[in-house]
Every structure is written in structure tokens, then in C-alpha cells.
């Protein structure tokens, strides 16, 4: 789904999650976590932690000097004969790509997996203008056929069974499709091969953009990235400005972190380094290269020091894999192309608190994501800041939470700040609970606390400690 | 020099776990600690902080610091998340250079979760407990990742006579409490809690032990809802057991 | 001038609180990791081959030029090759791989014949510009005599490797290629786990990867 909702209702989305989904999610994430752990162990704990720190420090350095690196990247791409466009927002990026497509009278575009293009709704914009746009990453191709968005940033269709995919191919492609993965892969290979060779336009994102030489780096396992960037006559790369890294040496760190964190591979199959269009006529490759630098809220994220590290993300998906919330609900509940912890960080800030204010609360703050992030993003600290933004507002946005919650917080802290009122409240609750009590438990509580008791009983109030302490102090005093 | 410890009983401990607090007092005194209880304490403000209501959190933090700031000795709590709040978030609630900020840093430095205090300050791993039952351990998130307390609770359980410690699958996976999360997204909280209860059941243990009131409320309720015979206990209850189930 | 460009850069500078002409600081030392020191060449090649095999690639050591013909005969039969396309580097020309294939009845399609014709080839033959033992990676550069499509479109990729191509790590490999317009680091045949996490090979890139070591330069 390339269109984004006006407002994300996480709870409502969760209620729509099919019962079979969590088990499928967990099967996938467990596999990735396992292969990742094996490779991290093989490298050694100290080596891995040093890499994480290096990854963090170099990405932060790039962000702290983003303007200079963007200018350097632009200079280098232009020097290499590429075109550079700047897009402030989704609409502008769409217009730029449409213009390029129009100039070449493009009718068919093939696309490598790119979260940035999903974020800006590029497919829809192109299709509205009469182009056919084909996702070429197998998982994205499958969900595109199905008419839904990706359920995970690395394996978009993992939640669909082989049978479902076979049925989809039979229905949408009109071919014999046995429910067997290798044969389905072969069907997709043949189908997409025809399209690659016919396509007028190849669209990609970039995993990284090396400022030193203006180099677009793409990382794929399937080869569709190579196809999109090599075979059609025009290549358009839509790249978030946060993807910039200073130099090639930075990649000696980042490439070691990325594939291990994402899929438990030492290196993905194809890491492509593209610095401009081919330098001679005789080389195979696109005739034109267009780099579209996308802001779409990233410079705003930069503004708040407490949330800036959101942009360190290298899109590995490890935080999704380890998140107990993601594992309970899958990607669609988040209502955004990127899901899980990093998806919450991006969606909250790119869409804003009004649209995405529900998301920062979709976390228990367990912190597993902090520990697994290869570039040490302080994810839970950022979530806390985003929650603060939603309910009290901060320099970036004013509060959007309903006033009655503010009132409840004020009353609550008023009572808790006054020991006499706190103790009075405690006695009152212990007294009021009598009719609800069933032994040591309260089986049902009034709203909104029935949200607790719908799942499990609440313990009965038992504020006996203070009286115990007082009586034993009297006792001790009495004895001495 | 007499060791002094001030009890930080936490609002949940105060309201729901009097036995845990009493046993904590008993154990610390038995280990030669002079225990104090600043009665003006109420709540550290964590629920407000986690919900984004930092103005309210700041007020409660300032109050907590006034109450405990004028005490001497270590401040000890049976709850990892509350200690994490004080140690990591209190300094951030107050602008650097202010008296509150300095007080936050000083006070945080002497605030400990119980197993931290036992293992590192008192160096007491074996405390003469006997609990001949099958026990499994759930690692509370803030204790584990916030405070870095991973081995201490298990070492303490290891020092208990007759206790058989069975590893819990997904020991470090969140139980789904998450404070206000449990009422904001109750369906997800329930799914996570049910997964934790299932893991506990699969171990064949008689008891699941944790060091955080929130986790215990969630897990105990879940076990009861599932009709499970497994008991949820705070670590201190096992450490002060003489043999039978208290 | 480009108002979007100016606005974005302005917003970035403002967000960073930057003075327009302040100097670019160097990267912190903690942002770097040290290079790897290569072991003896035999061990490096052994490690490279082990990694490639783990990735479902096939490796072979050929004693010399003369072994090439019979090896190609086996490959052509095993992979049912009817058409092939090749790099035209001096090394491959000197080995006359094209000639050997033609002698086996394989039609040679020049890469310049266009993508549709190259896509009909079952086999693409390249050299290896650099090889990384830790990950089993082959670095393939791009130039008029090293067309990109040769290692991409056919379903079988044969890479002729010389020991001199071995590099210690990414640092060293980057030293070779960072001035280029294009290169690709190939680590195993094309793969995906998109369908129920089941590993399948040959999605869009080659399904088979064969790496043959020839001694010498």
C-alpha cells in the first residue's frame, strides 16, 4: 500500500490481525535472530560492540555534517555525469520522477525495494499518470499482486503461505503454479525477466550514498537491484537525505553490520556501487542516472537533538525481529511501510503527532531493540521523547492528546505528591474494592481498568506495610 | 560503622505486596543492616514519565528527592523499574547545574535494586534459605537492560538449598506489562502475557520468580486466568523461605 | 537557482545550528575499524573457496590452461549451455575461453549485441577483479571489456580467478575500485527467502556460480 492513512489507530489495526499471523511472524523472526546470533558469536562480542560503536559514531558524524556531505555528494554525481534533483516532500518527489518518466515517454517502470518510494506513494502517483510500475523484489512483487503493503522491511511477504502465493500466481498471472518455493521463484524470474528487458525506467532507492564519490550503494540478494540499475535505459534513485555516509571507509563498518543484523548473512549477494552513468558509450548500463534527494521531514527530525538519532537507521530490520510487540502483531498494525520500533520512530515524526500519536505508545519500553540495533540508536529514549511530544508538546509540535488525560495526570500527581492524600486514597480503594473481591483478586474492574481485567484478574489492594512498620517500631520502642 | 539502608517500597509494593516488603526488612536486618523507612514517600513518578507527562513526573521526582535526599545510607528497592527511573531518568528531568540535578545525581548513585544491593554491597549470595522446589526465573526488562542486572538474581537463587533452577524459554522476553501499555493496548499486552505464561508452564516449574512488582502482577494474574498451578513469587520470598511455601 | 535545494540545505543547516562556513571536522577515531592482515595465499584461497561453497557456489582448481577445455566441456553439458557471453579482458582472451566454448558447439553472443540477446545466453564468463576470502565475495568491475550484463543476465556465471586477485578485506578492495563508475560485489548465486523463509536460488541473477582458480598472474 503506497497511500498512507490520515491517522493510525494502532489498537483498531491490532484487532484486525489474523489469528494465524503472530505464529508466522515469530517463525520468521526467530530464524533471523538465530542466524544473526551465530554470526555475532563468531565475530566475538568485543569486536561486535566495537563495530556498533563505530557504526553509531560515523553515522552521527554524517548527520552532524549533513549539509556538507549532501553538497559533496551532489558535486560528485554531477561530475560523474548524473543528474541531481532535490525534493522537499512526497509531492515534489513524485513530480520529479513523473517529469523524468514523461521526458522519456516511459510506459513501464521496474522497481527495486525502496522504503523511501513507499513512503512517498510513488507507485500510485506513477500509475495514476498511466505508467505500469512493477515491484521486482520477490516479496514486494507478491504483495503488490495481492494489493497490500509489506509486512516486514526485509521479507515483505513472509506471512503468506506457499499455497497462498501459488494461488495468487494462478489468479493474477494466469499460469500453472505448484505450491513449491523454487518453482514459484522460477515463475517470477521468467515473468519479471520479460519486464526488465522491456522496461523504460528503473527505479531504486539506495542503502547508502557515499559523499566522497557520489556513489549510490544498493544491497540485495536477488539481483533485482542490479537489474533495475543496469538494464533499463534510465535509472532513477530516490534516496532519503539521511542515507549519506562520508566515505568508502565508512562502508567497511556498515557493510559488516548490515547483512549480519538483517538476515544473518556475512554479506548480501549483490552490493552495487554506482557513481554516475557509465563512463563510456561502450559500457552496458543506463544512458541516464537521476538521483532524487528526498527530505520529506528528515530535516525536521534533525532539529530535535533528542530524536535526531532516528536517522542513524540503516534499515536492517533487527529491531523488528526482536520486538515483542512486533512479534505479537506483525507489520500491518503499524500502518506504515516501515514497521516495528524504527517504523514507529519514522512514522511518528514524518507523519506527525496528530496522525501517528498512537504509535510511540505501542511499546512496553522493554529495550530489546536498543541492544540489537547495529548503530546503537537509543530507541526507547526517543520513544519517551515522542510520547512527551504527544501529551505535553515540545519545541517541534504541540500536544495532541485529549485534555481529559492531561487532567487525569494532574489529579494523579496531585494526590501522589501529598502523602496524606495518597494514604487516604489507598484506604479508600482498599475499602471500595470489597464488593469486587474474590479472595486475593479483583476479577472485574470498572472502565478504563476493565482493560486490565479483560485479560487477567487484578490483585486485591493490601496496603498493610505501613501499619506493620508503625506497630513494630512501637514494639521496639516499647521494649527498649 | 553500621550499614544503613532506607526502604524505597514503591507505590505498587506499598499497595499490593506487603509480605515482600516485610520479608525484605527481615532479611536486611538479619544481614546486619539498620533499616529505615522514610514514611513520606509515595511514588517515584515513573508512570507519569513513561506516559510523557514530564511536568508531573518532575514534581514527583522533586518530592521523592526531598524525602530520600535528606536520608543517609543506601536506598534499596525490590523493584528494578523504579530504581532504573531514579538512576537513569531523574538526572535528565532537571537542567544541569540546578540543585535538583545535583541532588538527583548524588541520590541516584546510592539507590539500588535489592539483588544489586545483596550481591554487590553486602556480598551476600547465600543467605541461609531453603526452598526445595522447581523454580524458573523471568528477567524483568528494566532490571536486565536498564540496570544491567542479569546474573545476580540467578546467583542468589543458586544459593538456596534444595532449589532446582530450570531455565525459562524466552527468559529475557518482555511479559507484556509495560505499565500504562497494559491498559492502552490491552490486546497486545494479553498476547504477550499469554506467551509468557505458556513458556512458564512448559518448564514444569512449581514457581516463577521475578524482581519487579509490575511483572509479578501481570504474570500472577495470567497464571490464575490460565488455571495454572504455578505460583508467581518475588525473589525475596524465596530467599526468606525456610522450606515450605510461605 | 533550485529553490528546493536551497530550502533543504537551509533547513538542514538550521537544524544543526551550523555556521555556513565552518570547517568539516574529521571523523572520530572510534568511527573506524582496523584493516585485516591476510594470511598465506594458500589459506586465503582455501577460506575463499569454503565460503563460496557455503553459499552453494561451486569451486574448482585447474592445474593450468590445458585443463580449461575439459572443464568447460563438463560445465556445458551439466548446465545445458547453448549460448554464452563473455568479458573481453586480456586474460580471458589469452585463455581463449570463447574459442574453447565454440569448439564445444556453444554460440558466442557479444555483450554489445543488446540485452535481449544476452538474456538468451545460459552462460556468462567473467574474470575476477578482486576476491575477499572472509565472505567469499567476488569484485567485478565495469568497463567496455567488462560488461555488467555478463554476470547478471545468464543463469550460469563462470568466474575465472587468479591468485593475484585475492585481497585481505573490504579496505583493500575499496582501494582498487573507489574511483570507478561502477562495480558489484558478488557473494554467491542469487537467492531469496521471501516465500515462507524457504531459501531458493536464481531469482533474478544467476542461479549457479562457478569459480575456477587458474594458477599464475
CA A31 to the chain's CA centroid: 19
Question: In this structure, what DSSP letter does residue B176 have?
Answer: S
**Radius of gyration of chain A measured on its C-alpha atoms:** 26
**Radius of gyration of chain B measured on its C-alpha atoms:** 18
Chains linked to B by 3 or more Cβ pairs within 8 Å: A
Contact flag C202-A230 (C-beta cutoff 8 Å): no
- Chain B window 57-76: which residues touch A at a Cβ cutoff of 8 Å? 57, 59-60, 63
Q: How far is Cα A159 from Cα B36, in angstroms, rounded to an integer? A: 55
Phi and psi dihedrals of A293, rounded to 5? Answer: -85, 120
C-alpha cell at A287: 544512458
How much is the pLDDT for A477?
56
E strand or H helix at B183, and its extent? helix B181-184
Contact flag C148-A283 (C-beta cutoff 8 Å): yes
Contact flag B193-A419 (C-beta cutoff 8 Å): no
C-alpha cell at B210: 521475578
CA C20 to the chain's CA centroid: 42
**Radius of gyration of chain C measured on its C-alpha atoms:** 21
Instruction: Give chain A's mean pLDDT.
Output: 94
Integer CA distances (angstroms), A467 to A427, A474, A479, in order:
12, 11, 18
Q: Name which of A324, A221, A227, A225 is nearest A263 in CA terms.
A: A221
Task: List, in order of start, the domains of chain A with CATH numbers.
Answer: 63-300 (3.40.50.10420), 433-476 (no CATH)
How much is the pLDDT for A281?
85
Chains C and A touch (3+ CB pairs under 8 A): yes
E strand or H helix at C64, and its extent? none
E strand or H helix at A205, and its extent? none
E strand or H helix at C40, and its extent? none
Chains B and A touch (3+ CB pairs under 8 A): yes
Give A43's contacts in chain C (Cβ within 8 Å).
Answer: none
Q: Name which of C132, B125, C190 is nearest C140 in CA terms.
A: C132
pLDDT, tens digit (0-9, with 9 covering 90-100), for A275-297: 999 998 888 899 999 999 999 99
Asked if B198 reaches chain A (Cβ–Cβ under 8 Å), the answer is: no
Contact flag A392-B192 (C-beta cutoff 8 Å): no
Give SS3 for A218.
Answer: strand
Contacts of C55 (CB under 8 A, 6+ apart): C136, C187, C188, C189, C209
Interface test mutation site (partner A, options C5, C11, C12, max chain A beta carbons within 10 A): C12
Binning pLDDT at 50, 70 and 90, where does residue A475 land? Answer: low
For chains A and B, count residue pairs whose Cβ atoms are closer than 8 Å. Answer: 175
> Does residue A1 carry a pLDDT above 70?
no
How much is the pLDDT for A283?
87
The b/e string for A68-80 (b: 16+ C-beta within 10 A; e otherwise) is bbbebbbebbeeb
Please state the domain extents for chain C.
Answer: 40-191+199-213
Contacts of A12 (CB under 8 A, 6+ apart): none
Asked if B173 reaches chain A (Cβ–Cβ under 8 Å), the answer is: yes
Q: Are A361 and A60 spatial neighbours (Cβ–Cβ below 8 Å)?
A: no
Contact flag C33-A51 (C-beta cutoff 8 Å): yes
Chains linked to C by 3 or more Cβ pairs within 8 Å: A
Which CATH fold would you assign to the domain C40-191+199-213? Rossmann fold (3.40.50)
| B18 vs A22, A429, A462: nearest CB | A462
Contacts of B77 (CB under 8 A, 6+ apart): B7, B8, B9, B10, B13, B83, B111, B112, B113, B114
Task: Name the residue in chain A with its Cα closest to that of B222.
Answer: A456
Binning pLDDT at 50, 70 and 90, where does residue A150 land? Answer: confident
The torsion region of residue A367 among left (phi > 0), alpha (psi -120 to 50) and beta comes to left
Q: How far is Cα A72 from Cα A74, in angstroms, rounded to an integer? A: 5
Q: In what order do the strands lie in the sheet with A288-294?
A: A83-87, A288-294, A234-240, A201-204, A108-111, A132-135
> Does residue B246 carry a pLDDT above 50?
no
Give A50's contacts in chain C (Cβ within 8 Å).
Answer: 33
Task: List, in order of start, the domains of chain B with CATH numbers.
Answer: 3-121 (3.40.50), 134-239 (3.40.50)
Q: Name which of C75, C94, C71 is nearest C154 in CA terms.
A: C75
Q: What would the DSSP string read from start to end of B24-74?
A: HHHHHHHTTEEEE--TT----SHHHHHTT-HHHHHHHHHHHHHHHHT--SE
> Does residue A5 carry a pLDDT above 60?
yes
Interface test mutation site (partner C, options A267, A296, A305, max chain C beta carbons within 10 A): A267
How much is the pLDDT for C2?
83
Contact flag B16-A459 (C-beta cutoff 8 Å): yes
Q: How far is Cα A317 from Cα A151, in angstroms, rounded to an integer? A: 11
Q: Are A292 and A85 spatial neighbours (Cβ–Cβ below 8 Å)?
A: yes
Asked if A391 reaches chain B (Cβ–Cβ under 8 Å), the answer is: yes
> Does residue B244 carry a pLDDT above 50?
no
pLDDT, tens digit (0-9, with 9 covering 90-100), for C140-160: 999 999 999 999 999 999 999
Q: What is the mean pLDDT of each run of 10 residues along chain C (217 residues)?
A: 91 89 86 94 97 97 96 98 97 96 97 92 98 98 95 97 97 97 97 91 95 89
> Does residue A4 carry a pLDDT above 60?
yes
E strand or H helix at A289, and its extent? strand A288-294
Q: Name which of B173, B162, B174 is nearest B206 in CA terms.
A: B162
What does pTM read for this prediction?
A: 0.95
Give the residue carrying C-alpha cell 552490493.
A271
| A88 vs C8, C170, C203: nearest CB | C8
Q: Are A453 and B189 spatial neighbours (Cβ–Cβ below 8 Å)?
A: no
Question: In this structure, what DSSP letter does residue A227 have?
Answer: H
Interface test mutation site (partner B, options A34, A383, A450, A455, max chain B beta carbons within 10 A): A455
Q: What would the DSSP string read from start to end of B114-173?
A: HHHIIIIIS--S----B--SEEEE---HIIIIIS---SHHHHHHHTSBT-EEEPPTTTTS
Percent of chain A with pLDDT over 90: 92
Asked if A403 reaches chain B (Cβ–Cβ under 8 Å), the answer is: no
How much is the pLDDT for A473?
78
- Chain A window 453-472: which residues touch B at a Cβ cutoff of 8 Å? 454-466, 468-469
Contact flag B14-A466 (C-beta cutoff 8 Å): yes
Contact flag A70-C9 (C-beta cutoff 8 Å): yes
CA B56 to the chain's CA centroid: 23
Contact flag B142-A367 (C-beta cutoff 8 Å): yes
Q: How far is Cα B224 from Cα B245, in angstroms, rounded to an integer? A: 17
Q: How far is Cα B158 from Cα B140, in angstroms, rounded to an integer? A: 18
pLDDT, tens digit (0-9, with 9 covering 90-100), for B78-121: 999 999 999 999 999 999 999 999 999 999 999 999 999 999 99
pLDDT, tens digit (0-9, with 9 covering 90-100), for A386-437: 999 999 999 999 999 998 999 999 999 999 999 999 999 999 999 999 999 9
Contact flag C181-A66 (C-beta cutoff 8 Å): no
Helices (H), A18-109: 21-43, 45-64, 66-79, 90-103
Q: Are C81 and C45 spatial neighbours (Cβ–Cβ below 8 Å)?
A: no
Q: How far is Cα A314 from Cα A456, in angstroms, rounded to an integer? A: 39
First to last CA, chain C: 53
- Chain B window 86-105: which residues touch A at a Cβ cutoff of 8 Å? none
Average pLDDT over residues A22-28: 91
Contact flag A469-B187 (C-beta cutoff 8 Å): no
pLDDT, tens digit (0-9, with 9 covering 90-100), for B6-29: 999 999 999 999 999 999 999 999
Contact flag A165-C195 (C-beta cutoff 8 Å): yes
Contact flag A266-C51 (C-beta cutoff 8 Å): yes
Going B58 to B62 to B64 to B69, the CA torsion angle's sign is: positive
Instruction: Give chain B's mean pLDDT.
Output: 96
**Which parts of A145-259 are beta strand (E)?**
201-204, 208-210, 215-220, 234-240, 244-245
Q: How far is Cα A469 from Cα A268, in angstroms, rounded to an integer? A: 63
Q: Name which of A221, A218, A185 is nearest A203 in CA terms.
A: A218
> Does residue A131 carry a pLDDT above 70?
yes
Contact flag A465-B45 (C-beta cutoff 8 Å): no
Give A21's contacts in chain B (Cβ within 8 Å).
Answer: none
Using a 10 angstrom Cβ sphere, with 0-12 exposed, 13-18 middle and 19 or more buried, the burial of residue A328 is buried
How much is the pLDDT for B20?
97
Q: Are A313 and A348 spatial neighbours (Cβ–Cβ below 8 Å)?
A: no
Binning pLDDT at 50, 70 and 90, where does residue A327 land? Answer: very high
Amino acid at each position: 500500500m503506497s497511500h498512507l492513512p490520515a491517522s493510525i489507530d494502532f489498537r483498531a489495526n491490532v484487532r484486525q490481525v489474523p489469528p494465524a499471523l503472530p505464529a508466522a511472524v515469530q517463525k520468521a523472526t526467530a530464524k533471523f535472530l538465530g542466524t544473526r546470533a551465530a554470526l555475532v558469536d563468531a565475530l566475538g562480542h568485543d569486536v561486535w560492540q566495537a563495530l556498533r560503536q563505530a557504526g553509531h559514531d560515523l553515522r552521527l558524524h554524517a548527520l552532524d555534517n549533513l549539509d556538507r556531505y549532501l553538497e559533496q555528494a551532489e558535486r560528485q554525481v554531477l561530475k560523474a555525469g548524473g543528474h541531481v534533483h532535490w525534493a522537499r516532500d512526497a509531492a515534489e518527489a513524485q513530480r520529479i520522477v513523473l517529469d523524468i518518466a514523461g521526458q522519456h515517454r516511459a510506459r513501464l517502470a521496474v522497481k527495486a525495494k525502496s522504503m523511501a518510494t513507499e513512503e512517498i506513494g510513488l507507485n500510485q502517483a506513477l500509475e495514476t499518470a498511466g505508467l505500469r510500475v512493477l515491484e521486482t523484489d520477490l516479496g514486494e512483487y507478491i504483495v503488490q499482486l495481492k494489493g497490500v503493503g509489506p509486512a516486514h522491511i526485509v521479507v515483505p511477504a513472509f506471512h503468506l503461505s506457499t499455497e497462498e502465493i501459488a494461488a495468487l500466481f494462478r489468479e493474477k498471472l494466469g499460469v500453472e503454479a505448484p505450491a513449491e518455493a523454487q518453482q514459484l521463484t522460477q515463475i517470477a524470474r521468467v515473468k519479471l525477466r520479460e519486464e526488465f528487458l522491456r522496461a523504460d525506467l528503473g527505479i531504486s532507492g539506495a542503502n547508502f550514498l557515499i559523499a566522497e564519490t557520489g556513489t549510490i550503494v544498493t544491497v540485495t540478494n536477488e539481483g533485482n537491484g542490479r537489474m533495475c540499475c543496469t538494464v533499463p535505459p534510465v535509472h532513477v534513485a530516490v534516496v532519503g537525505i539521511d542515507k549519506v555516509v562520508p566515505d568508502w571507509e565508512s562502508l567497511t563498518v556498515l557493510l559488516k553490520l548490515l547483512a549480519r543484523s538483517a538476515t544473518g548473512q556475512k554479506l548480501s549477494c549483490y552490493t552495487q556501487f554506482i557513481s554516475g552513468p557509465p563512463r563510456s558509450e561502450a559500457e552496458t548500463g543506463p544512458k541516464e542516472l537521476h538521483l532524487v534527494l528526498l527530505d520529506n521531514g528528515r530535516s525536521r527530525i534533525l532539529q530535535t537533538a533528542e530524536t535526531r538519532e532516528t536517522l542513524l537507521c540503516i534499515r536492517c530490520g533487527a529491531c523488528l525481529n526482536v520486538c515483542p510487540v512486533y512479534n505479537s502483531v506483525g507489520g500491518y498494525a503499524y500502518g506504515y511501510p516501515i514497521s516495528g520500533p524504527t517504523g514507529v520512530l519514522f512514522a511518528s515524526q514524518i507523519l506527525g503527532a496528530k496522525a501517528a500519536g498512537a504509535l510511540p505508545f505501542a511499546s512496553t519500553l522493554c529495550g530489546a531493540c536498543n541492544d540489537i540495533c547495529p548503530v546503537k540508536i537509543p530507541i526507547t529514549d526517543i520513544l519517551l521523547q515522542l510520547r512527551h511530544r504527544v501529551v505535553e508538546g515540545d519545541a517541534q509540535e504541540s500536544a495532541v492528546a485529549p485534555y481529559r488525560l492531561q487532567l487525569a495526570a494532574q489529579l494523579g500527581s496531585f494526590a501522589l505528591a501529598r502523602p496524606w492524600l495518597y494514604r487516604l486514597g489507598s484506604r479508600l480503594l482498599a475499602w471500595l474494592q470489597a464488593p469486587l473481591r474474590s479472595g486475593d483478586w479483583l476479577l472485574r474492574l470498572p472502565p478504563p481498568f476493565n482493560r486490565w481485567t479483560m485479560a487477567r484478574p487484578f490483585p486485591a489492594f493490601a496496603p498493610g506495610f505501613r501499619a506493620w512498620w508503625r506497630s513494630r517500631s512501637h514494639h521496639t520502642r516499647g521494649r527498649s | 560503622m553500621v550499614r544503613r539502608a532506607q526502604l524505597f517500597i514503591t507505590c505498587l509494593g506499598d499497595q499490593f505486596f506487603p509480605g515482600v516488603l516485610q520479608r525484605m526488612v527481615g532479611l536486611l536486618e538479619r544481614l546486619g543492616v539498620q533499616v529505615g523507612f522514610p514514611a513520606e514517600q509515595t511514588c517515584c513518578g515513573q508512570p507519569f514519565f513513561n506516559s510523557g507527562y514530564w511536568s508531573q513526573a518532575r514534581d514527583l521526582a522533586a518530592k521523592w528527592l526531598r524525602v530520600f535526599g535528606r536520608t543517609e545510607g543506601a536506598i534499596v528497592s525490590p523493584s528494578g523499574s523504579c530504581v532504573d527511573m531514579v538512576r537513569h531518568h531523574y538526572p535528565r528531568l532537571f537542567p544541569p547545574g540546578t540543585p535538583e540535578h545535583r541532588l538527583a545525581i548524588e541520590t541516584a548513585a546510592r539507590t539500588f535494586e535489592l539483588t544489586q544491593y545483596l550481591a554487590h554491597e553486602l556480598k551476600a549470595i547465600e543467605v541461609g534459605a531453603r526452598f526445595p522446589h522447581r523454580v524458573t526465573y523471568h528477567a524483568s526488562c528494566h532490571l536486565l537492560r536498564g540496570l544491567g542486572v542479569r546474573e545476580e538474581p540467578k546467583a542468589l537463587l543458586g544459593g538456596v538449598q534444595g532449589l532446582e533452577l530450570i531455565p525459562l524459554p524466552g527468559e529475557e522476553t518482555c511479559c507484556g506489562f509495560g505499565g500504562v501499555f497494559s491498559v492502552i493496548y490491552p490486546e497486545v499486552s494479553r498476547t504477550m502475557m499469554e506467551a509468557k505464561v505458556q513458556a512458564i508452564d512448559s518448564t514444569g516449574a512449581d514457581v516463577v520468580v521475578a524482581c519487579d512488582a509490575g511483572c509479578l502482577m501481570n504474570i500472577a494474574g495470567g497464571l490464575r486466568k490460565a488455571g495454572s498451578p504455578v505460583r508467581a513469587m518475588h525473589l525475596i520470598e524465596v530467599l526468606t523461605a525456610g522450606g515450605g511455601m510461605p | 537557482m533550485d529553490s528546493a535545494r536551497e530550502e533543504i540545505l537551509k533547513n538542514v543547516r538550521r537544524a544543526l545550528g551550523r555556521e555556513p562556513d565552518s570547517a568539516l571536522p574529521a571523523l572520530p577515531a572510534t568511527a573506524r575499524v582496523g584493516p585485516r592482515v591476510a594470511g598465506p595465499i594458500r589459506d586465503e584461497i582455501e577460506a575463499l573457496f569454503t565460503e563460496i561453497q557455503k553459499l552453494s557456489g561451486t569451486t574448482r582448481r585447474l592445474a593450468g590452461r590445458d585443463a580449461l577445455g575439459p572443464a568447460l566441456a563438463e560445465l556445458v553439458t551439466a548446465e545445458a549451455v547453448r549460448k554464452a557471453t563473455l568479458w573481453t579482458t586480456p586474460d580471458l582472451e589469452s585463455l581463449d575461453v570463447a574459442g574453447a566454448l565454440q569448439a564445444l558447439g556453444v554460440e558466442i553472443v557479444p555483450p554489445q549485441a543488446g540485452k535481449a540477446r544476452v538474456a538468451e545466453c545460459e552462460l556468462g564468463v567473467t574474470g575476477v577483479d578482486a576476491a575477499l576470502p572472509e565472505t567469499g565475495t567476488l569484485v567485478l568491475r565495469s568497463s567496455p571489456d567488462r560488461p555488467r550484463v555478463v554476470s547478471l543476465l545468464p543463469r550460469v556465471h563462470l568466474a575465472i580467478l587468479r591468485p593475484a586477485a585475492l585481497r585481505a578485506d573490504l579496505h583493500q578492495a575499496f582501494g582498487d575500485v573507489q574511483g570507478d563508475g561502477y562495480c558489484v560485489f558478488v557473494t554467491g548465486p542469487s537467492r531469496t527467502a521471501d516465500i515462507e523463509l524457504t531459501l531458493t536460488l536464481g531469482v533474478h541473477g544467476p542461479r549457479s556460480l562457478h569459480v575456477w582458480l587458474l594458477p599464475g598472474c
